Chains A and B, each alone.
Chain A
């Protein structure tokens, strides 16, 4: 870089640019926070949904699955699983995982020993998640 362009000019661009764009992020986030209630339907976050999120986290489901495309890529997307499979299937599936695994080389899902209450909460959470306005993602029902 040429001599006319000095280190202190570069430093000013850094501090000015970083400050400006961080403030822009804060402003955009502020706007997003105003709009979100219409998109996430937070009025439907019941105690069951909140408890279900806790069950989701306590069992580290994100360690294999994606949820709205974020997480691990080892097992199916679950943001739309309520639509794809329905609540009863989800409960039956989680409940029926053999503790020692299924035969063959198949990918294994652990037996989490969830109570009936926890299963209901999980389904409530996944149902609510499926109703978030995600700009039509995923592209199809397979997730």
Chain B
């Protein structure tokens, strides 16, 4: 670690991993409820478990992004963080607000939570992924602004690199597009239309800028390849991301009341969305092959390569699978969407956050890399989690294809629940694979506690 203030990244990373564990536990609860419907009912109904599962994911990724920025920006700017104290204060505010929100979901009925937090004054709750009470949403805005203020001023007073510019753009975009979560008209079509300006323009837009810059940062460090080359790749990748992804928003506008022309715009542009992910894979492998140093942190390199491959498969290939309007007509709102969602989030955002943690955490603990033993364990965790998510995705895809056939294509269509009963086998297989994922995650956490010989950080 070259700058003292980079240390504030550490609590962010620890919180991220802790919440990740919580996310997976609730995922397992939901997975079991798919086949054992009365599991934990009425204590934790499915919708509550799902809110906790998805909200924890979002929050821990945000912790990861913020930790990454606090670690990267001082090094990129060659300057101490503007205010480490503000960063620490925001950490605690965000953690407490997040924890209280989750406790709220779990302890009172959602309608009571809405009432307690004065949702009727300005209704924003009860929409997928944006279930947080108004006060939490406002808290997110405050934390994001304080964070952006801190990061922006650090960059302004120091060296300005393309990596920090792209990261900054991504993070500002994240904050700006979150503002659409406060717009909730009575007209469902308008509500849905602009809901996607938060959700799509986050995960298929500005978050990819963050992803790209984190990946580029780690690749510079572990490969020693010239910054000019890496930053050129970064710009080309994110250029393709936004050129395809912005109008790609149209693939959400096929069946929600919006005009037919979105079927053309959405299909054509989102069919191109795999390109930037493919470039990312080529980029990662190319840079590692052309490496000019042997960095002792092999695990971080593995995560970086894994991000390229898995984001291409999950976001690129599995996205393409159901993005063309004539296909999506049948697959919209089925387990196919769930399959894509799981591999895309893992491959792109989970893996890139674990990449930066893998690279930065040893530095934050005063060594260039973890011991060989710890790295082997971390790499086991990589493989167990990655293989698990591949099989979770395959099983959900199988369930989805059968569901589409039984419920929507067959000449004697089954009702929703009857079709679900027919595909239960695949939900069981998914749940078993989910347990394997947890084993991988426990292995990952355990790898932080493995000692052994390490070299001091340079």
Contacts and interface: CB of A to CB of B under 8 A. Distances in A.
B167 to A, nearest CB: 14
B38 A105 contact: yes
B37 A72 contact: no
Interface string A22-33: 101100110110
A142 B414 contact: yes
A70 B50 contact: no
A64 B47 CA distance: 5
B93 to A, nearest CB: 25
A53 interface: yes
A107 B232 contact: no
A58 B110 contact: yes
Contacts of B188: 40, 53, 67-68, 125, 128-129, 132
Interface string B335-347: 1011000000000
B175 to A, nearest CB: 16
Q: Which residue among A14, A36, A49, A134 has the maximum number of chain B CB atoms within 10 Å of its CB?
A: A14
A59 B35 contact: no
Given A10-B236, A39-B259, A59-B111, A72 B128 contact: yes
A66 B111 CA distance: 19
Nearest to A39: B257
B154 interface: no
Contacts of B275: none
* Interface SS majority for chain B: helix
B425 interface: no
Contacts of B367: none
Interface in B210-269: 228-229, 231-233, 235-236, 238-239, 242-243, 246-247, 249-250, 253-263, 265
B50 A68 contact: no
B417 A107 contact: yes
Given A36-B257, A77-B416, A140-B413, A66 B333 contact: yes
Contacts of A117: none
- How many interface residues does chain A have, given as a range? 35 or more
Given A62-B127, A107-B37, A99 B42 contact: yes
Interface of B: 30, 33-38, 41-42, 45-48, 50-51, 109-111, 114-115, 119-120, 123, 125-128, 131, 162, 184, 186-193, 228-229, 231-233, 235-236, 238-239, 242-243, 246-247, 249-250, 253-263, 265, 329-330, 332-335, 337-338, 407-409, 413-417, 419-420
18 contacts: A13-B235, A18-B239, A24-B246, A32-B258, A49-B186, A54-B120, A58-B114, A60-B110, A63-B51, A63-B110, A63-B131, A69-B255, A72-B128, A73-B335, A105-B38, A108-B41, A108-B42, A132-B189
Given A10-B235, A73-B337, 10 more contacts: A6-B232, A21-B243, A24-B247, A32-B262, A39-B257, A58-B125, A60-B48, A69-B255, A72-B128, A132-B189
